[in-house]
């Protein structure tokens, strides 16, 4: 026990040094060092099960379960994943990457244990931000009914990626800051004595019932109000210091003896032990390489797509009071911090609650407002029912802005935005598009701002684009009209979005190396397709080739093939895109090369089709 503080310091030192070279989720992991040490001291994985919500705070767990020597490979190609993976270690009992999943999964594990009649412990670790997720409350509603033993750790640091918002965040803050505490009954007294000794029984500190019956002033009169967890049948303990490893250890020793579901509320600092991370928790939630001394990251002068999006929509909103912006706990990631700062009354952060965000946007749209809903492609999956049932059926003009559309590199399969074309393509009446550069991106956003016929979506990649400066005044685009960049007789190339430059390279090489005449098309529109142009080109050439940063299954290329088949056009179609598999983490160039998303792969496939047979 006496060595644990020194071990905690060593872990932090290793994380700070390692992630300065690899990037990663520094702040969250610095905040859970003592918690993870205490968990592993009291419990025994893989027999006992730890379920970390999101699991971006699992680096310390990895280091303590045989992967310390590999931590320098975190988020690198063929190295450790940035989240927990069942396939990576027997100690990773549940994989994750999205928020709000851990409590339901842990309850399932505990219920399975009860059915088997075994005695392992199940511990769910979730941040306070997770409690803005609907699934967490759905799980809470079932905990007491389905198991008698489950430990839930509420890791309260006031942050998800950005600072937490809403009533739940305020509720937790009230528990941790209120100075008036009522009665300490026998159960809490036993807990205090077990953890801190008999002398501590006289102290009415921040423990179970003292927090349960905290006093809230109402019209100047203090009144008792029960903590919500007890109403769900889950015994509440805390809040306690989440950086006191001895206290945490003793507390877990006590909690694992309890024959009822319990929740332990701990207070931690996101970024503890590293001044730059404490000063800017949002930045250090997840970041690239940084300077250890200053915390500075390398900056690019070229604005990212996220920055272009936020700047454009903010400017549009200044001239159109109907425009509002919505994010689900991602003002920094989506760029909407700019909108928040300049137009706070029309900015809405609903917390990690994508389904609610989509429905909230629908309500705004029914009242004549023009909501821009900015959610990563991978997280928009959570709102799919709302897109069909609430937006599309009612033809509500909600503007779906899907950041990270395409491969998300080192974040891995939970964060790649490779499925949105497939899940939006079947939705009747929905418009979907992707720009080839920043200038066209702003034109598309302007078109969205002026489109009121129903839901309209745009996908755009992570990071920077080609660096094309947008025009001073954006122009409206005609829905469903592609751009014919060059016309040819032998091959037609349709390069969607960020793969348009790849199509340009293929065109140059086919002309220079094969002497072919090549059409080049910027499709722009995923739905509706420019049927007239595509059919005209397909009837003219010997082979069509589509390029998309998306899975091939039900993707853009499939839409082109369906169109040709419907009109009995037999021109062969070559498709360049991601395979029917979950793509691992790694740099985009490496993963594209491995999976055949290269100009060389496209050239080979096209030449095979054109080669004389016999």
Average pLDDT over residues 341-370: 97
pLDDT band at 507 (very low <50, low <70, confident <90, very high): very high
The whole-number pLDDT of residue 205 equals: 42
What band does 199 get if pLDDT is binned at 50, 70 and 90?
A: low
For residue 112, pLDDT beyond 90: yes
Determine the angle formed by the axes of helices 556-566 and 531-540, rounding to 10 degrees. Answer: 70
Inform me whether the pLDDT recorded for 458 exceeds 50: yes
What is the pLDDT of the chain when averaged over all its residues?
A: 89
pLDDT at 539: 98
Mean pLDDT, residues 570-596 taken together? 97
Whether the model pTM is above 0.85: yes
Q: What pLDDT score was predicted for residue 182?
A: 29
For residue 456, the cross-strand partners are 399, 431
Model pLDDT for residues 212-253, shown as the tens digit of each residue: 333 222 333 223 333 678 889 999 888 889 999 999 999 999
pLDDT at 160 over 70: no
Residue 536 shares a structural domain with residue 439: no
Cα of 282 vs its chain's centroid, Å: 14
- Kindly state the helix (H) or strand (E) to which residue 193 belongs, with its residue range: helix 186-196
Please name every residue paired with 235 in a beta bridge, in sequence order, or none if there are none.
Answer: 262
Instruction: Answer yes or no: are the C-beta atoms of 463 and 304 closer than 8 Å.
Output: yes
Question: Containing H/E element for 598?
Answer: none
User: d(Cα 444, Cα 399) in Å, to the nearest integer?
Assistant: 11
Query: Would you mind telling me the total number of residues written for the chain in this entry?
Result: 614
Residues 6+ apart with CB under 8 A from 470: 308, 312, 438, 439, 441, 442
Short-list 349, 423, 414, CA closest to 386: 423
CA distance 132 to 283: 21
Which among 163, 151, 114, 184 has a CA at the least distance from the CA of 39? 151
Residue 515's domain is classified under what CATH number?
Answer: 3.40.50.920
Q: What is the pLDDT of residue 216?
A: 28
CA-only gyration radius of the chain, Å: 27
Residue 476 DSSP label: P
Q: What tens digit of pLDDT does each residue of 394-424 get?
A: 999 999 999 999 999 999 999 999 999 999 9
Flag whether 296 is in a domain.
no
**Which comes out higher in pLDDT, residue 288 or 368?**
368
Residue 476 lies in a domain: no
> Is residue 462 among the annotated active site residues?
no
User: Quick one: average pLDDT of 88-106?
Assistant: 94
Q: What angle (nearest 5°) sits at the alpha carbon of residue 583, between those of residues 581 and 589? A: 135
Residue 357 and residue 404 in one domain: yes
Q: pLDDT-based confidence at 358, cuts 50/70/90?
A: very high
What mean pLDDT is predicted for residues 3-16?
96
SS3 content of the chain, % helix, strand, coil (to 5): 45, 15, 40
Q: What are phi and psi of 560, to 5 degrees?
A: -65, -45
149 noted as active-site residue: no
Residue 42 belongs to domain spanning: 4-178+228-276
Angstrom distance (rounded) from CA 285 to CA 474: 34
In this structure, the answer to whether residues 310 and 264 fall within a common structural domain is no
| pLDDT > 70? residue 558 | yes
Tell me, yes or no, whether 477 lies in a domain. Answer: no
Is 496 in the same domain as 582? yes
Do residues 265 and 322 share a domain? no
pLDDT in tens, 115-154: 999 999 999 999 888 888 889 999 999 999 999 999 999 9
Specify whether 75 is catalytic: no
If asked whether residues 544 and 591 sit together in one domain, one would say yes
Residue range 281-301: mean pLDDT, rounded = 84
List the CATH number of the domain containing 82: 3.40.50.970
Q: Do you find a cis peptide bond into 555, omega within 30 degrees of 0?
A: no
- Three-state DSSP at 60 gives helix
Alpha-carbon 317 to chain mean position: 26
Catalytic residue of the set 62, 75, 212, 270: 270
Catalytic residue among 354, 355, 438, 440: 354
Q: Is 534 helix (H, G, I), strand (E, B) or coil?
A: helix
My answer on whether 554 and 490 are in the same domain is: yes
280-289, 433-442, 516-525: segment of lowest average pLDDT: 280-289
Please tell me the predicted confidence (pLDDT) of residue 238.
81
287 three-class SS: strand
- Domain assignment of residue 508, yes or no: yes
Catalytic residue among 382, 399, 436, 592: 382
Residues 420 and 377 in one domain: yes
pLDDT for 231: 86
**Same domain flag for 367 and 504:** no
Same structural domain, 346 and 397: yes
pLDDT of residue 163: 52
397 and 317 within one domain:
yes
Residues 6 or more apart in contact with residue 375 via CB below 8 angstroms: 327, 328, 330, 334, 354, 357, 383, 400, 401, 402, 403
Which of 459, 475, 501 is the last residue in one of the domains? Answer: 459
């Amino acid at each position: 026990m006496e060595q644990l503080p020194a071990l905690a310091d060593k872990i932090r030192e290793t994380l700070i040094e390692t992630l300065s070279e690899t990037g990663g989720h520094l702040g969250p992991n610095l905040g859970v060092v003592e918690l993870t040490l205490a968990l592993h001291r009291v419990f025994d994985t893989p027999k006992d099960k730890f379920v970390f919500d999101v699991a971006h705070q699992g680096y310390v767990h990895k280091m303590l379960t045989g992967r310390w020597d590999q931590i320098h490979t975190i988020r690198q190609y063929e190295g450790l994943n940035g989240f927990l993976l069942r396939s990576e270690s027997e100690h990773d009992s549940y994989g994750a990457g999205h928020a709000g999943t851990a409590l339901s999964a842990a309850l399932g594990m505990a219920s399975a244990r009860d059915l088997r009649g075994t005695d392992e412990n199940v511990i769910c670790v979730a941040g306070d931000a997770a409690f803005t997720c609907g699934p967490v409350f759905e799980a809470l509603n079932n905990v007491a009914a389905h198991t008698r033993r489950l430990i839930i750790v509420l890791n309260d640091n006031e942050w998800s990626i950005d600072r937490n918002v809403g009533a739940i965040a305020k509720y937790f803050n009230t528990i941790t800051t209120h100075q008036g505490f009522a009665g300490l009954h026998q159960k809490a007294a036993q807990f205090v004595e077990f953890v801190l000794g008999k002398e501590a029984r006289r102290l009415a500190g921040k423990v179970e019932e003292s927090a349960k019956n905290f006093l809230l002033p109402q019209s100047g009169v203090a009144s008792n109000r029960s903590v919500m967890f007890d109403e769900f049948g889950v015994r509440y303990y805390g809040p306690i210091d989440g950086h006191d490893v001895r206290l945490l250890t003793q507390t877990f020793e006590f909690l694992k003896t309890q024959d009822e579901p319990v929740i332990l509320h701990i207070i931690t600092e996101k970024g503890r032990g590293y001044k730059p991370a404490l000063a800017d928790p949002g930045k250090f939630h997840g970041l690239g390489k940084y300077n250890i001394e200053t915390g500075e990251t390398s900056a690019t002068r070229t604005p990212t797509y996220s920055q272009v999006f936020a700047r454009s929509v903010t400017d549009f909103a200044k001239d159109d009071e109907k425009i509002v912006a919505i994010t689900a706990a991602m003002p920094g990631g989506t760029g909407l911090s700019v909108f928040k700062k300049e137009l706070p009354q029309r900015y809405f952060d609903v917390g990690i609650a994508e389904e609610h965000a989509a429905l909230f946007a629908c309500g705004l749209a029914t009242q004549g407002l023009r909501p821009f809903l900015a959610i990563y492609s991978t997280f928009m999956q959570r709102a799919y029912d709302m897109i069909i049932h609430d937006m599309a059926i009612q033809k509500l003009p909600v503007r779906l802005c899907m950041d990270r559309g395409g491969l998300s590199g080192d974040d891995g399969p939970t964060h790649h935005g490779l499925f949105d074309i497939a899940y939006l393509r079947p939705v009747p009446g929905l418009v979907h598009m992707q720009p080839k550069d920043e200038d066209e991106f702003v034109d598309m956003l302007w078109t969205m701002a002026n489109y009121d016929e129903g839901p309209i979506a745009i996908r755009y990649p992570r990071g920077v684009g080609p660096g094309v400066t947008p025009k001073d005044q954006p122009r409206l685009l005609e829905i469903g009209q592609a751009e014919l960049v060059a016309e040819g007789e032998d091959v037609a190339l349709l390069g969607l979005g960020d793969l348009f430059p790849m199509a340009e390279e293929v065109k140059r090489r086919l002309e220079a190396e094969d002497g072919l005449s090549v059409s080049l098309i910027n499709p722009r529109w995923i739905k509706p397709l420019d049927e007239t142009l595509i059919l005209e080109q397909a009837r003219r050439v010997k082979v069509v080739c589509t390029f998309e940063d998306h899975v091939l299954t039900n993707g853009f290329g499939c839409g082109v093939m369906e169109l040709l088949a419907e009109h009995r056009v037999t021109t062969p179609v070559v498709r360049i895109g991601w395979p029917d598999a979950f793509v691992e983490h790694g740099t985009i160039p490496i993963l594209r090369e491995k999976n055949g998303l290269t100009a060389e792969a496209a050239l080979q496939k096209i030449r095979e089709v054109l080669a004389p047979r016999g």
